[in-house]
């Protein structure tokens, strides 16, 4: 029996190396979470959160660095540089250190949260902030992906692994993830599903599985525009990926923020401690299964269907995001909360809503605009003035930067804190209108609209916020590349 003891001068590198370890666990999800259980669909998840570095990207990081080391490319290197704000660069920093490379620098988007930056710093990553969208275009010369490459070429002792073009990224999954899943399912897998970011996971795993059986169906999951999920891209952002990946993905389905985070909560509470992009892949698989008229083509000789999705990492780095995107209703109440020090964030989120003033994005749309969304979209895209109903004001309480990215045509931006601090001034300005308040995910808009109602202004909160508005593809201004496609 392998007792999982690692010793000697390479003890930790051995501990990180899948070749020297037991398989990464493949666990069937609990029946209560599987709506297809009675159809004999057995859903398993490959738990990349159980890897020593707790994430899927540690496999490409290992493979990229081990291969470069074998080629002698790291002999003079003292600094790694990569465009990544999460798992890849964190993994590179640790593996780099173990290989004698003292510094790892991350070029990150200025839109990344402080919490995420501090997580990188906790692992010793040196952060360089770059003004760019979170999922940049690799070919864009202002992108961190491009800048990392250029910076590495200018310093003889720097090295850029380059996860968007480095074949050792997908090859890690061709070498480890695919063969393990094939073996663990005893060749019975018929559906494989993974979220897509750099496309490394889906490419490498699918390539191996399809080489074993061409009847395996592979499902990629992309995110709905303006619906953040860590590590994965929208369909449009995937078009920018230099890898040739489409041949490895039989079907691409889209999933949004809320269902990803909610689904990962369910998995966590049943003992599978996985993060939002795992809920995302799980929901993508369920969406794919629901779309099938007949599941029989996927059945094995026992009449079962074996489906596997990848769980990429753990929920721990994203704790604040769960509360931001899902609101308080998904979480147990805190008793005696009044004893805690006051903090305006918790005041926003613990507020009790009045459903009468909660409106869907469609209802909000119909209150705001006279014409249908196609007409308004065409006015927006041709830079024409868009008419909104006279007695309505749309109040967007997001941060100015978010507002500048995209917003509902005709809306007014007053940040939440500004509204709260200067409520009497704004009440004077807004008082003769019906106010529709919108935020990112429909949480703080509830409290802002209550604040206005307390000041005798008829005010509604848009349920699900701009994220839901984008999911329905309702008109957004200014829809330039970043805004529309994020
Ligand atoms: C946290 C995380 N990182 C990255 C990815 C994307 O993987 P890849 O870059 O291999 O496409 C995912 C996919 O779901 C993910 O969840």
Q: Which residues pair with 109 in a beta bridge?
A: 130
Tell me: the pLDDT tens digits for 120-130? 999 999 999 98
Atom of ligand 1 nearest to the CA of 221: 14
Per-residue confidence band for 374, with pLDDT thresholds at 50, 70 and 90 = very high
- What mean pLDDT value characterizes the chain? 92
CB-CB contact of 341 with 316 (8 Å): no
Ligand 1 pocket test: pick from 164, 257, 277, 318 the residue with the most ligand atoms within 8 Å of its Cβ: 277
The total of other beta-carbon atoms located within 10 Å of residue 215's CB is: 10
All domains of the chain, ordered by start, with CATH?
Answer: 11-55+168-319 (3.40.50.1100), 58-159 (3.40.50.1100), 354-485 (3.40.250.10)
Per-residue confidence band for 79, with pLDDT thresholds at 50, 70 and 90 = very high
Atom of ligand 1 nearest to the CA of 199: 11
182: CB partners within 8 A, 6+ apart:
189, 208, 209, 212
Tell me: the pLDDT tens digits for 454-485? 999 999 999 999 999 999 999 998 654 433 33
| Total residues found in the chain within this entry | 486
Q: How far is the CA of 197 from the centre of ligand 1 (A)?
A: 5
Residues of the chain above pLDDT 90, percent: 80
Q: How far is the CA of 402 from the centre of ligand 1 (A)?
A: 24
Strands 251-255 and 217-223: parallel
Ligand 1 site, CB within 6 A: 56-57, 87, 195-201, 230-232, 277, 281, 312-313
pLDDT of residue 132: 78
pLDDT of residue 348: 53
Q: What is the pTM of this model?
A: 0.88
DSSP states along 245-291: -GGG-SEEEEE-HHHHHHHHHHHHHTT----HHHHHHHHHHHHHHHH
Sign, CA torsion 475/477/480/486: negative
Per-residue confidence band for 178, with pLDDT thresholds at 50, 70 and 90 = very high
Q: How far is the CA of 425 from the centre of ligand 1 (A)?
A: 46
Q: Give CA–CA dist 308/323, Å, rounded.
A: 28
pLDDT of residue 390: 87
Residue 330 phi, psi (nearest 5): -85, -5
pLDDT of residue 426: 93
Average pLDDT of the residues in 94-119: 92
Average pLDDT of the residues in 162-177: 97
């Amino acid at each position: 029996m392998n007792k999982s003891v690692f010793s000697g001068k390479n003890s930790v590198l051995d501990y990180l190396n899948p070749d020297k370890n037991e398989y990464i666990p493949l666990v069937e999800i609990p029946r209560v979470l599987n709506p297809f259980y009675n159809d004999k669909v057995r859903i398993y998840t490959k738990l990349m959160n159980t890897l020593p570095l707790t994430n899927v990207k540690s496999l490409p990081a290992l493979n990229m660095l081990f291969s470069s080391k074998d080629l002698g490319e790291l002999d003079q290197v003292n600094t790694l540089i990569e465009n990544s704000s999460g798992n890849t660069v964190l993994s590179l920093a640790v593996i780099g250190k173990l290989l004698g490379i003292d510094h790892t620098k991350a070029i990150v988007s200025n839109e990344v949260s402080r919490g995420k930056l501090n997580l990188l710093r906790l692992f010793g990553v040196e952060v360089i902030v770059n003004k760019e969208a979170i999922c940049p275009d690799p070919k864009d010369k202002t992108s961190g992906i491009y800048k990392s490459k250029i910076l590495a070429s200018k310093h003889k002792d720097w090295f850029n692994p380059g996860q968007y073009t480095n074949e050792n990224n997908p090859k890690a999954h061709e070498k480890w993830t695919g063969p393990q899943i094939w073996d663990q399912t005893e060749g019975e897998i018929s559906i494989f599903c993974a979220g897509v970011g750099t496309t490394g996971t889906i490419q490498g795993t699918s390539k191996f599985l399809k080489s074993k059986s061409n009847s395996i169906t592979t499902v990629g999951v992309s995110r709905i525009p303006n619906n953040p999920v860590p590590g994965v891209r929208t369909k449009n952002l995937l078009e920018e990926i230099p890898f040739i990946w489409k041949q490895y993905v039989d079907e691409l389905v889209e999933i949004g923020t809320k269902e990803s985070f909610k689904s990962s909560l369910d998995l966590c509470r049943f003992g599978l401690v996985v993060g939002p992009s795992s809920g995302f892949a799980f929901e993508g698989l369920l969406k794919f299964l629901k779309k099938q008229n007949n599941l029989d083509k996927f059945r094995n000789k026992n009449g079962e269907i074996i489906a596997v999705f990848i769980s990429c990492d753990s929920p721990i780095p994203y704790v604040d995001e769960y509360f931001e995107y899902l609101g308080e209703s998904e979480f147990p109440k805190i008793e005696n909360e009044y004893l805690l020090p006051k903090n305006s964030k918790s005041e926003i989120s613990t507020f009790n809503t009045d459903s009468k003033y909660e409106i869907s994005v469609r209802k909000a749309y119909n209150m705001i605009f006279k014409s249908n969304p196609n007409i308004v979209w065409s006015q927006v895209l041709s830079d024409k003035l868009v008419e909104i109903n006279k007695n309505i004001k749309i109040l967007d309480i997001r941060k100015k930067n978010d507002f500048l990215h995209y917003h509902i045509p005709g809306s007014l931006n007053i940040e939440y804190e500004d509204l709260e601090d200067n409520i009497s001034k704004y009440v004077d300005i807004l008082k003769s209108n019906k106010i529709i308040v919108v935020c990112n995910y429909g949480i703080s808009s509830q409290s802002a609209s209550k604040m206005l109602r307390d000041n005798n202004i008829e005010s509604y909160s848009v349920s699900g916020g701009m994220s839901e508005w984008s999911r329905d593809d309702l008109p957004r201004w200014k829809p330039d590349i970043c805004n529309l496609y994020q």
